[in-house]
Amino acid sequence: MNQWPVVLFKEESMREGMQIEDTNIPVDDKVRLLHALGETGLQHIVVGSFVSPLYTPQMARIEEIMSKFQPKPGIKYTALLPNEIAMERAKPFIPPLTIDQPRPNLSHHLCDIFTRRNWNRSQAQEIERWPSIVAKAQEDKATEVSIGLGAAWGSNFVGEFSLEQRIAGLEKAHSFWDEVNIKVTSVSLADPMSWTMPHKIEETILAIKKHWPEINNFSLHLHNGRGMALVSAYAALRVLDSTDTLELDGSLGAIGGCPYCGNGRATGMMPTEDFLHMLEDMGIDTGVDLDRIIDCVWMLEEVLGRITLGHVAKVGPLPKKREQWYDPNMPFVETFEQVKHFRIGPDAYQGGISPWREPIRSEQRPETLTL
Q: What are the tens digits of pLDDT across the range 343-359?
A: 999 999 998 899 889 99
**Between these two residues, 172 and 258, which has the higher pLDDT value?**
172
State how far the Cα of 137 lies from the Cα of 143, in Å rounded to an integer.
8
State how far the Cα of 208 lies from the Cα of 203, in Å rounded to an integer.
9
Contact 69, 14 (CB under 8 A): no
Strands 159-160 and 154-155, by their bridges, are: antiparallel
Average pLDDT for the chain: 93
Taking the chain, what is the end-to-end CA distance rounded to the nearest angstrom? 44
| 326 alpha-carbon distance from chain centroid | 31
Q: List pLDDT tens digits, range 84-126.
A: 888 889 889 888 888 877 899 999 999 999 999 988 899 999 9
* Rounded mean pLDDT, 212-227: 96
Cross-strand pairs, 159: 155
Q: What is the pLDDT of residue 261?
A: 82
Q: List pLDDT tens digits, range 291-304.
A: 999 999 999 999 99
270 band by pLDDT with thresholds 50, 70 and 90: very high
* Rounded mean pLDDT, 39-68: 90
Per-residue burial over 76-91, b if 16 or more Cβ lie within 10 Å, else e, is: ebbbbbeeeebeebbe
| 147 alpha-carbon distance from chain centroid | 20
User: What residue type is 87 in one-letter code?
Assistant: M
341 band by pLDDT with thresholds 50, 70 and 90: very high
* Rounded mean pLDDT, 198-219: 97
All structural domains of the chain, each given as residue ranges with its CATH number in brackets, are 6-315 (3.20.20.70), 322-368 (no CATH)
Identify the burial level of 8 via C-beta atoms within 10 angstroms of its C-beta, where 0-12 means exposed, 13-18 middle and 19 or more buried.
middle
* Rounded mean pLDDT, 188-202: 95
Q: List pLDDT tens digits, range 281-291.
A: 999 999 999 99
Strand, coil or helix: 48: strand
For residue 305, what are the contacts with CB-CB under 8 A and spacing of at least 6? none
Question: pTM to 2 decimals?
Answer: 0.92
Q: What is the pLDDT of residue 276?
A: 98
Phi/psi-derived region of residue 162, left when phi > 0, alpha when psi is between -120 and 50, beta in every other case: beta
Q: What is the 3-state secondary structure (H, E, C) of 278-315?
A: HHHHCCCCCCCCHHHHHHHHHHHHHHHCCCCCCCHHHH
Give me the helices (H) in the chain, please: 27-38, 62-68, 84-90, 112-119, 123-128, 130-139, 163-179, 198-211, 229-239, 272-281, 290-304, 312-315, 336-339, 341-344
Identify the burial level of 74 via C-beta atoms within 10 angstroms of its C-beta, where 0-12 means exposed, 13-18 middle and 19 or more buried.
exposed
Q: What is the pLDDT of residue 158?
A: 92
Q: What is the pLDDT of residue 266?
A: 84
Is the pLDDT reported for residue 1 higher than 60? Answer: no
State how far the Cα of 114 lies from the Cα of 192, in Å rounded to an integer.
9
* Rounded mean pLDDT, 149-161: 94
For residue 134, what are the contacts with CB-CB under 8 A and spacing of at least 6? 104, 106, 176, 177, 179, 180, 182
Q: What is the pLDDT of residue 310?
A: 95
Contacts 24+ apart (CB under 8 A), 109-113: 109/149, 109/150, 109/151, 110/149, 110/150, 110/151, 110/152, 110/155, 110/161, 110/165, 110/166, 110/169, 111/150, 111/151, 111/155, 111/157, 111/158, 111/161, 111/193, 112/158, 113/155, 113/157, 113/158
Helices (H) and strands (E) in the chain, counts: 14, 10
* Rounded mean pLDDT, 6-10: 97
| 311 alpha-carbon distance from chain centroid | 15
